[in-house]
Each structure stands twice: as structure tokens, then as C-alpha cells.
Copies of this chain bind each other. A is one copy, B any other.
Amino acid sequence: MTSGRSSTPSGETWTIAELADEFDVTHRTIRHYEQLGLISPERRGTTRVFHRRDRTRLALILRGKRIGFDLEEIRRIIDMYDEQPGEAGQLAYLLDQIKERTAELERRRQDIDDSLAELGSLAKRCRADLRALRR
């Protein structure tokens, strides 16, 4: 059995460490996504070999997470992208999800702005108290 690395043109595959590094996640996280069927890297022996498709899907997964989808929703959405065009029902579903997520994110941004304002005035009071103590 000639297990070789030379069969693929270099630059088109990644190791788990390379992807973990690039996307700032742990190896465990990537393996977890594989276990759930979100990505399916090739195997060379036991070692995983990631192709461009896997890398793209990983990027989509992480983006989905930042937006607030859970992994099951992400699986559905990614698969929708992958299954070529998609029919009207699927697109409508996706659009609906997008609306919900958008509203959620806007709420979150408002919360953050409120908190930033509060932290700002708290800092101000804090600095004033410090100045008062120094005299």
C-alpha cells in the first residue's frame, strides 16, 4: 500500500491544525462539526485532510454561530446553499430566518450601545472619585 501525499497538488488541502489556526477554534471544535455531519473531510489513514469545500463550510458554520444560529439550524442552511438552486419553499424559509436573526441582532446591538453608555458614565464617576481621594 503506497500511502502518499503527492497525489494532490499542494495548496489545495489543509490539516486540522491549519484550519484551527486560521479560524481560531480548537481541533476538538472541528472534529465536533465532523461528528455532526457539518463537514466531512477526507481521510488519509486516520488523519483528516481538508479540501476547499470543507474550509468553506467551516467558515459558514462559524459565521452562522456568530449570528446566533444553533448547529442544527446551520446544518439546514448550509445544506440549502449546497443543494443547488433551491425551491421557493426553502428560500421563503431562509428569508424568514434571516428576518428573525436580523431583529435579534438589532436588539443585541441596542443592548450593547446602552451598556457602553452606562460603562462610560460609570468610568466617569470612578475617575472623579479617584481624583477626590488623591486630594
Contacts and interface: CB of A to CB of B under 8 A. Distances in A.
Interface of A: 63, 66-67, 81, 85-88, 91-92, 94-95, 98-99, 101-102, 105-109, 111-116, 118-120, 122-123, 126-127, 129-130, 133-134
Contact of A66 (B91, B107, B129): B107
In the A-B complex, the 9 residue pairs with the smallest Cβ-Cβ separation, listed nearest first, are: A67-B115, A66-B111, A98-B123, A95-B126, A109-B112, A91-B130, A85-B129, A88-B133, A102-B119
Contacts of A87: 133
Determine the main DSSP class of A at the interface with B: helix
A95 B120 CA distance: 10
A97 B81 CA distance: 37
